[in-house]
Structure 1
């Protein structure tokens, strides 16, 4: 990375790694070189923040590209980090990314962030301020304000920044774009996106029973930017998604994979208004009460997007989760799979319809027989390796330097896409925001609301109470 002033540190790192490699009985091929060999000095040195679960597979994918070295690992939970530490034994390990950045910042080129949603923005911004390229798992951020700031930061600091929604690099979304651009669908005015998530608990009260913190977990670091609460079993490593302090619900988990396709096909940006209704759940035989900490078990959100250069008028986009699905289109046979079953996207235009599964996979025109009949020119270059090439694409772009190679999900696109999902979450939370009317009396604003959004000001203009969720207050010791 010649544009970053740490060539001496890289050489020191490579010397140590090479010396250790030579100590083994059989010298690995990558040390000897050969056809397709990438010299260590041309490799991207990556520091991983959150290296268990999805982070574990992320850093492995970077290493598998053959053009990256995993130089440093960071995780708040030793149990989750175990596989990555075993796989990359030469990588130095930390629990606090702030310490890793301070001590090792001159020795790595790029940072991969795969923490729970509430801790995405802080290490990402810190890395960009240091001139490091960044790869961040979806959704890009927990809050709308954070997404706007990160998109601005990537441009300001001129770093290669990609969000981890791998389907953006797949062939499917490119095929969808080519059909649409060729006029096969006419004017698309309505889109449906649906998912069978959540598969974790939602619509429940915060547990009252606390537990001892596992010795391998630094609970304070896990909480990070979020308000302090006592440890409870089952929250980490996965069920945090259903709690607003840490996660972004089904939208955050699957929205970037499903809404990305219509976002790119129709060149959408920010919705101008959002309507929402949420499902109910029964707890101990009684209908759910007011559980402000928890995402609802299901929701149906309708977003209206203004006319773009790809559409003739407004576009209505429906998001459905918790098992809710749109009515099957009449062109789809009774035994033919709708989307990929539990998830999918349906585009409705004036001349036809098309659909795909999660990540934009299996794009099809309706009726399905039309898929093979419509022949259109290949307009968009494919990413080598498709969705799996999403990682190598970022590595290669980072090595080339800012602005030299195209990315599938750069922050300039991932930022507004994430904002859109979080705006929808504002409406979901707005259904249950209780408004103080005085004399300790609280009322719901309504079970089905319509929220008006001012994108420039980043605020809801008609239900002011939900603006508290646009930008949350970080716990002391954390900043953006």
Structure 2
């Protein structure tokens, strides 16, 4: 049977203490209170329980739900997935949870029984699912990247504030100690004023820069292909897209940036006074279909790319020059790094360059000054920034606690007020990549120039064709 909340007061409208006081319970009467109030060892009363619905419960969705469930106050009450094959493990982990295929049906039918929603679908469905939950007053946790488009990121951040719901983007390393250590080091002036940031990843580790798949295939019985497409245009089913390779196709995914930038670039946004870039440019790998015959696989993300952005500092101290490389491309090794020392970690990393020195690290490794010998001679700053208990795992339980406390009561690592502008900047790289791929009438690429960005109006001011990538077209029935 599905878990219900009938006659259970919402944890947002009444606290356990208020429940006891309003019921007129006195100290003398505590000996006859029911277990609902007193509880036993490890018992969490329904009024202190967060009832969560998962949308997209396979793969990362399954691990997200497992992360929430580590908090005894969380109850995974509903599961939703368009592909029964992907939901098997979550159904086993949470056998009492009621199962749906269409999140719109679930949110309508179970509105009174859901407190919060976790969205772990492919990128193209993030915003429509999250917005449907927010508009019903549900707290939301959304996997990175927060949205598929720049417009969607702006809209979700505004909606979270309007509906006063607790939000968190699923870049769990935003709750790790390493980024806080890096901020303490930079705030202490160990490398002076930061002027340049380099970031990189070894992604994609899935197919990109390839022709659009063809052929006719039967849709598996367990999969609702129409629901899987969601807001994207209607195309034929092809097994090349599922279960994971959708990341490399612009119809559904956001490529290497969408997969890793919300982890790797987080340090720059968390440490520096920046929000929106003013300029972006890029270059990508060239694909060839024959000898001297350049191929244009515009539906597929590029195999590798280099992106440059300029961010004005909000404190007025000049600009930050920012770069991103992927597909195995790396920045030049710093002269301070010894020949046998590793650059980053597992193909991912960042370098902050300041007026007095450099700081290198990665989202999951401790930051280090360059040359690394400085770590033994420099006096490192004391810890001043509170750590998140549990680090990356605490990213999940932190959100559960914040939902139970209510909007505005607790600071989170990646609320939409932060994650929205951050995601916009990340997706600005994809706007540049897609503009770069557009061919002009004379065989040149108009996107091969610096694009000027008006963040206030969400518009490229010097190449209007690029603005089609700010906001996507939605299929009927799937708009925000």
Q: TM-score normalised to the size of structure 2?
A: 0.90
Q: For 2:379, which of 358, 370, 374 is the aligned residue? A: 374
Matched with 2:398 is: 393
Matched with 1:273 is: 279
Please give the alpha-carbon distance, in whole angstroms, between the structure 2 residues aligned to 1:9 and 1:365: 57
Specify every segment of 5 or more residues in structure 2 that has no aligned partner in the other structure, as ranges: 11-37
Matched with 1:298 is: 304
Matched with 2:328 is: 323
Q: Per-residue deviation at 1:285?
A: 6.7
Please give the alpha-carbon distance, in whole angstroms, between the structure 1 residues aligned to 2:104 and 2:7: 19
Please give the alpha-carbon distance, in whole angstroms, between the structure 1 residues aligned to 2:311 and 2:442: 32
Please give the alpha-carbon distance, in whole angstroms, between the structure 2 residues aligned to 1:196 and 1:161: 29
1:61 corresponds to 2:67: yes
Superposition RMSD in Å? 2.0
Aligned residues: 451
2:273–2:313 contact (8 Å) kept in structure 1: no
Runs of 4+ more than 6 Å apart: none
Q: For 1:41, which of 39, 47, 69 is the aligned residue? A: 47
Matched with 1:157 is: 163
Matched with 2:195 is: 189
C-alpha distance after superposition, 1:265-294 (max 9, x if no partner): 102100000011111234577754112211
1:194–1:325 contact (8 Å) kept in structure 2: yes
Please give the alpha-carbon distance, in whole angstroms, between the structure 1 residues aligned to 2:233 and 2:8: 38
In structure 2, relative to structure 1, the CA distance for the partners of 1:289 and 1:65 (3 Å cut) is: same
Q: Per-residue deviation at 1:447?
A: 6.7
1:245 corresponds to 2:251: yes
How do 1:206-285 residues align onto structure 2 when only pairs under 5 Å count? 206-283=212-289
Please give the alpha-carbon distance, in whole angstroms, between the structure 2 residues aligned to 1:162 and 1:429: 28
2:213–2:240 contact (8 Å) kept in structure 1: no
1:204–1:283 contact (8 Å) kept in structure 2: no
Please give the alpha-carbon distance, in whole angstroms, between the structure 2 residues aligned to 1:285 and 1:106: 62
Q: For 1:338, which of 331, 335, 343 is the aligned residue? A: 343
Q: Per-residue deviation at 1:412?
A: 0.6
1:82 corresponds to 2:88: yes
Please give the alpha-carbon distance, in whole angstroms, between the structure 2 residues aligned to 1:285 and 1:213: 37
Please give the alpha-carbon distance, in whole angstroms, between the structure 1 residues aligned to 2:109 and 2:256: 37
Matched with 2:474 is: 474
Q: Per-residue deviation at 1:82?
A: 0.5
1:116–1:247 contact (8 Å) kept in structure 2: yes
Please give the alpha-carbon distance, in whole angstroms, between the structure 1 residues aligned to 2:121 and 2:165: 20
Matched with 1:117 is: 123
Matched with 1:21 is: none
Q: Per-residue deviation at 1:448?
A: 3.1
Please give the alpha-carbon distance, in whole angstroms, between the structure 1 residues aligned to 2:297 and 2:157: 32
Please give the alpha-carbon distance, in whole angstroms, between the structure 1 residues aligned to 2:212 and 2:8: 47
1:418 corresponds to 2:423: yes
In structure 2, relative to structure 1, the CA distance for the partners of 1:71 and 1:300 (3 Å cut) is: same
Please give the alpha-carbon distance, in whole angstroms, between the structure 2 residues aligned to 1:192 and 1:396: 35
C-alpha distance after superposition, 1:297-350 (max 9, x if no partner): 1110000001222x7210001000011101111111111111104010000001
In structure 2, relative to structure 1, the CA distance for the partners of 1:374 and 1:190 (3 Å cut) is: same
Matched with 1:25 is: none
In structure 2, relative to structure 1, the CA distance for the partners of 1:163 and 1:454 (3 Å cut) is: same
Q: Name the SS of the counterpart of 1:140 in structure 2.
A: coil
C-alpha distance after superposition, 1:132-189 (max 9, x if no partner): 1000000000011000000001100000000000011000110111011111110110
1:8 corresponds to 2:12: no
How do 1:83-98 residues align onto structure 2 when only pairs under 5 Å count? 83-98=89-104
1:134 corresponds to 2:140: yes
C-alpha distance after superposition, 1:452-478 (max 9, x if no partner): 000011011111111111111110111
Q: Per-residue deviation at 1:234?
A: 2.3
Q: Name the SS of the counterpart of 2:95 in structure 1.
A: coil
Q: TM-score normalised to the size of structure 1?
A: 0.90
1:210–1:233 contact (8 Å) kept in structure 2: no
In structure 2, relative to structure 1, the CA distance for the partners of 1:289 and 1:409 (3 Å cut) is: same
Q: Per-residue deviation at 1:371?
A: 2.4
C-alpha distance after superposition, 1:393-430 (max 9, x if no partner): 00000000001011000101100111001111111111
How do 1:157-176 residues align onto structure 2 when only pairs under 5 Å count? 157-176=163-182
